[in-house]
Amino acid sequence: MKPRADFACLSKKCRTDEGEATVYELPIDAKVCPVCASKRIQRLYNKIAVLRGAQPDRDPRLTSSSHLVRSTALLTPGFDHADAVKPSGDLATHSFSASEVDGMTQGKGRPMTQMELARARRQDPRSAASFIAAQAGRRIHTQVVGRDG
């Protein structure tokens, strides 16, 4: 929506009974009177009405100078949603069956066996598994200072 301003029409057709010019609120780039189509309009610099109607409600928490207040206001709805959709039941109090425990030790999250480490070192000597295996095999020489004995 374009900004609007007050214009006075100076033509004889739009004059009031008292001889005063009629004032209209028009877009700021208006060239003619909307009533009589006269080009004798003059802009009145008394106000500029850019936003008409009700203003949106502002949340003072989002315009605060405190980072803590702003971040809390923005993150609270997300935390509330996460709490609402959180799965019921606590894993710490859950007793797992033998088949569930067996299923947890298989897959990518389980530790590699010595045979798998040796195979990984042969296939790719620059892999993460070979670096970790090489570090695990080395002894770290330390000297304790200040201890008798």
pLDDT at 30: 92
Would you say 70 and 64 are in contact if contact means Cβ atoms under 8 Å apart?
A: yes
pLDDT at 81: 80
pLDDT at 107: 54
Handedness of CA 67, 72, 78, 79 (dihedral sign): positive
pLDDT at 10: 92
pLDDT at 101: 54
- Output the tens digit of pLDDT for each of the chain's 149 residues: 788 889 999 998 888 888 888 899 999 899 999 999 999 999 998 876 555 666 667 777 777 788 888 888 888 888 888 778 776 555 545 555 655 555 555 556 667 777 877 788 888 888 877 777 777 776 656 665 665 54
Every domain of the chain and the residues it spans = 4-49
